[in-house]
């Protein structure tokens, strides 16, 4: 097998936006891009060196040897049903929650998962150097492809099974998506009282840094951790017309019972 891979990217969302250029940065070649959204596919194409747009999922004549699905979790099965691959191709998905076996019927025995454990937005540049990449392959060849793709990108490549990857993905939803939603709630509360979200920036940075330094359980502070029931009641009264009282109460009870 050559040192570098010829790749086709299927999908043009946030993951593809970052992963495709990074693969090229470490020496791989993205030959083709397919996206259901033609505009987004063209925008992704412009970020790449010599990639062409494939207008369909028929890749039977493609010179690519690795096909990476950067599509939403619920779209993987339908793409697998439609895609036509060249002989001996390898196909990978990038989902945290979909099992390896979702690629069973893709028309090749060589399939796998390359899951970059990170939150991606097109507006924010991401470094892959210390980004955990979780991999899983169906065959020895698929495993070799996964290592060849991931090792030049990141120092943190970890082989896991589908259940372990699901655990990482669920934990990531709590740590990232749920936490960010709480930031949205906090921003709304401040905005309703003509205060800026920037007021919380030093607190947020210190909270994250402290949690990483001493562990999240040791870093827990606040009225619930102190069992300050009077303050908790006052907060609940303050939130009674906000729509956030139930959320506050649910999280408070979890901390009280920890």
Q: Domain locations in the chain? A: 6-160, 165-256
CA distance 227 to 98: 40
pLDDT, position 1: 53
User: In the CATH scheme, what is the code of domain 6-160?
Assistant: 3.40.50.720
pLDDT, position 17: 98
CA distance 30 to 32: 6
CA distance 247 to 79: 37
Q: Which CATH superfamily is domain 165-256 in?
A: ProC-like, C-terminal domain (1.10.1040.20)
Mean pLDDT of the chain: 97
Per-residue pLDDT reduced to its tens digit, 54-113 = 999 999 999 999 999 999 999 999 999 999 999 999 999 999 999 999 999 999 999 999
Coil, strand or helix: which one is 130? Answer: coil
Coil, strand or helix: which one is 134? Answer: strand
Span 144-159, mean pLDDT? 97
Query: Do the domains 6-160 and 165-256 sit in the same CATH topology, yes or no?
Result: no
The answer to whether 13 and 71 have CB atoms below 8 angstroms apart is: yes
The model's pTM: 0.94
pLDDT, position 3: 80
Sign of CA dihedral 6, 25, 9, 103: positive
The answer to whether 100 and 112 have CB atoms below 8 angstroms apart is: yes
- For 243, the token pair is 């729509």
Strands 133-137 and 110-116, by their bridges, are antiparallel
């Amino acid at each position: 097998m050559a040192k570098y891979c010829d790749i086709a990217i299927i999908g043009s969302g946030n993951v593809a936006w970052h992963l495709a250029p990074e693969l090229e940065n470490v020496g791989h070649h993205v030959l083709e891009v397919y996206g259901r959204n033609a505009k987004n596919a063209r925008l992704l194409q412009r970020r790449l060196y010599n990639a062409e747009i494939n207008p369909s999922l028929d890749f039977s004549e493609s010179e690519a040897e690795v096909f990476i699905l950067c599509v939403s979790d619920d779209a993987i099965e339908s793409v697998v049903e439609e895609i036509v691959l060249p002989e001996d191709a390898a196909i990978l998905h990038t989902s945290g929650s979909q099992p390896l076996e979702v690629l069973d019927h893709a028309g090749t025995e060589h399939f796998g998962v390359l899951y970059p454990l990170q939150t991606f937005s097109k507006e924010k540049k991401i470094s892959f150097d210390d980004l955990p990449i979780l991999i899983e392959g169906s065959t020895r060849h698929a495993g070799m492809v996964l290592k060849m793709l991931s090792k030049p990108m990141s120092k943190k490549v970890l082989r896991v099974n589908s259940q372990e990857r699901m655990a990482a993905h669920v934990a990531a939803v709590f740590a990232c998506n749920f936490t960010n939603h709480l930031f949205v709630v906090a921003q709304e509360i401040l905005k309703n009282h003509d205060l800026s979200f920037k007021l919380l920036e030093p607190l947020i940075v210190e909270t994250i840094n402290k949690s990483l330094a001493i562990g999240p359980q040791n870093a827990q502070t606040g009225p619930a951790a102190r069992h300050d029931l009077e303050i908790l009641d006052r907060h609940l009264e303050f939130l009674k017309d906000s729509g956030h009282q139930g959320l506050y109460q649910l999280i408070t009870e979890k901390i009280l019972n920890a």
